[in-house]
Every structure is written in C-alpha cells, then in structure tokens.
Chain A
Amino acid sequence: MNTQTRLVQVRTKILKQNDVLAREMRQRFARDGVTVVSLVSSPGAGKTALLEVLLGRMREEFRVAALVGDLATDNDAVRLARAEVPTKQITTGTVCHLEADMVAEALEDWNTNELDFLFIENVGNLVCPATWDLGEQLRLVLFSVTEGEDKPLKYPTIFNTADVAVITKSDLADAVEFDADAANRSLQSVRPGIETLQVSAKTGEGIEALLQRLRGLRDGGEVLAKRWGQNDGAE
C-alpha cells in the first residue's frame, strides 16, 4: 500500500548531546582559567612521547595535567605519570575516539580550577575523532616524518578540524628523505592557513617553539566555537 507522506521540518544537530556538553565544558574551562589542548594523530605518531616532554618542561612553569584515551591499556598514562603530573587514563573499550561525556566523566573528581593546562590525548586514529568536539581550546594534529608527506591529503577531515599541525620525529627526517615543502603543500591544501611546527621529542628540536605557542594561549583566548558551528542556529 502506498501512503501519502509529508515532511515535518526539524533542524537539529545529530550530535546535539555531545555538542551541548562540549560547549558547557568549554565555558567551564574558561571560567576555571584552564587551557585545554587536545592531540590527535594516527597510532604511533608520537603523541605520548611529545606529551612526556611537554609535561616535563611545563610543570616547572604551570600546573599541568593530562587525560589519555586508549582502547585497552593504561600504558600511556603510566608513561605520562613519569613526568610527575596528574594523569588519568580513559579506556574506551571498542570505541575508536573520545567523546565529550568521556572527558566530563574523567574530570568528575578533578578540580580544573586548580590547573593551568589540561592536555587530552585522543585515541590514535585519524578518522573517527574528527567528528567529536571535546570542549578543547586548541587541537593539535600530529604526524611523523615517517608517515609520508601526503598524510593530510589522505585524512583531510581530521586535518581540517585541527588548529596546529605538529610534524614529529624530525630527527628522522633526513633518514627517510622527508620533504617538508611537500608536507606543507598538503597541509595548506586541506586546511588553508594552518600553522605548522616541526618537532623532535628525542632531540628537543622545535619544542621551545611549541611551548611558546602554548604559552601564548594563556592570554590569546582563542576559542574553537565557530568551527563547531555553535553560532549557526542549529541546536
């Protein structure tokens, strides 16, 4: 039987629940004076190694802490704890990305107003994390010189959601004949205007420049609200 149908207009974001929570957290972080920076990358690009270095350096200047998303183990949190700052593992089970409610739950027993910086290390994945706003102020996307200059072209969406691209393992650049210009062209093609930094957690190259960028956030007050469409009327 063929019934006549009609359309009832509704305009709602499918991830409304996540987006509302992310916005509330962003407001809370601003109130608490904590700068929240997330890291996304493929598995093995060096998120944890970079964070170890950053946390170790920053703890002399700031009150820093980190949340680490992982499917199964707490190995990364154990590594980060060596930097002697508060860390907590978010074990996602089979979920391939972090969502705002996982971050909110992990922070339940933390006083974020006692922090200056909070880092959120997402699950190693260049696909799924792109869709979820975590309430962060700045998103870093990492890729290592060993992954190839065209990584941004292969995963344009996640690069498009990031604010700063960090090219890691620069100490291996010569060995793998990494072409920095080609990498930059790829980045600028998928995300025109994105800032790019090249670092080595091993030798310390570029770390000071990244620290400088992070320190700048304390007075910059940049917010990602526009990216996540929080002003376009769809609720």
Chain B
Amino acid sequence: MHELSIALNLLDVAAEEAQRRNIRSVEAIHIKLGPLSGVVKSALISAYDLAREHSPFPESRLVVEDVPIVIYCEPCSAEQPAPSIQELVCPVCHTPSGNVVTGRELELTALEIADSETEP
C-alpha cells in the first residue's frame, strides 16, 4: 500500500506549483496515470481523500486521466495500443515490443481553480 505516499507527494508538488503561481485555493488536481506506474487508481483516490485533509487544499478533488499502454512496433513503424498490461505485443502484426511509448505516467497535469483566483 504505497498509494498514501504517492498522494502525499502529489499534494506537496501541487502546493509547490500553486505557490509559484500565487494560487491560494484549488478546486481539483488533475493527474495522468498509466498502468505501468505501479499505482492503483482506486487506492490512490482513497489515499488522496485521507491525505488532502492535512494539506493546503482540504476541499480539493482528484481527477485522474487514465493513460493507455502504447508501444512502438518496429515492423509496423507505428505506435500501437497494447492489448493488456500482461501482453506488450502489437495488436496488428503480433510482434512483441518492449518499447513503451505511454503507460508509465504518474504526472500532475493541471490545477483546476475558481475563475475568481488570480494568476499573474
């Protein structure tokens, strides 16, 4: 259960980014999450609900964008979606590929703020 540690890191990073932009209040924190990050979405959302209470943004929501696993297929010279996390293989020509293009994301992407908040 490492999602609490991730949630705490997330709130720290969000607070740092908000401070840098003179943002005092945040409605929601938007993140991108890939399955290969090793973080479970539902566990992270639960952990976030615990962690936010003692953060600068106790009322904030967590909005998760799931990123699919996409691999680069050499024979097809194209990016292809992997059929599953257990099967990193091109769905067209069936060649395995360890070249992961997306799917490892664990990134803060945006802070959602009220229009009344000023941003210099």
Which A residues have a C-beta under 8 Å from some C-beta of B? 3-18, 95-97, 99, 127-128, 130-131, 153, 156-158, 160-161, 188-194, 229, 234
Please report which residues of chain B, range 18-42, place their CB below 8 angstroms from some CB of chain A when the two chains form the complex: 21, 23, 27-28, 30-31, 35-39
Q: Which residues of B contact A192 (CB under 8 A)?
A: 88-89, 96-98
The verdict on A11 contacting B86 (CB below 8 Å), with A16-B13, A157-B35 known, is no
* A189 and B89 within 8 A (CB): yes
Q: How far is the CA of A131 from the CA of B116 in the complex (A)?
A: 37
Which B residues have a C-beta under 8 Å from some C-beta of A? 1-2, 5-6, 9-10, 12-14, 17, 21, 23, 27-28, 30-31, 35-39, 85-89, 96-98, 100, 104, 106-116, 119
* B109 and A9 within 8 A (CB): yes
Q: Closest approach, in angstroms, between the C-beta of A179 and any C-beta of chain B?
A: 17
Q: Which residues of A contact B107 (CB under 8 A)?
A: 11-14, 234
The residue of chain B having its C-beta at the shortest distance from the C-beta of A4 within the complex is B115
* A128 and B9 within 8 A (CB): no
* A128 and B38 within 8 A (CB): yes
Residue of A15, A188, A193 near B9 (CB, 8 A) is A15
Q: Which residues of B contact A158 (CB under 8 A)?
A: 38
Residue of B38, B88, B113, B119 near A191 (CB, 8 A) is B88
User: Can you list 11 A-B contacts with CB-CB less than 8 angstroms, sorted by A residue number?
Assistant: A4-B115, A5-B27, A7-B111, A10-B14, A10-B17, A12-B107, A13-B107, A14-B6, A128-B38, A160-B100, A190-B87
* B85 and A190 within 8 A (CB): yes
Q: Which 7 A-B pairs have the closest CB atoms?
A: A192-B96, A130-B38, A128-B2, A131-B38, A192-B98, A4-B115, A7-B110
The residue of chain A having its C-beta at the shortest distance from the C-beta of B44 within the complex is A14
Q: Closest approach, in angstroms, between the C-beta of A235 and any C-beta of chain B?
A: 10
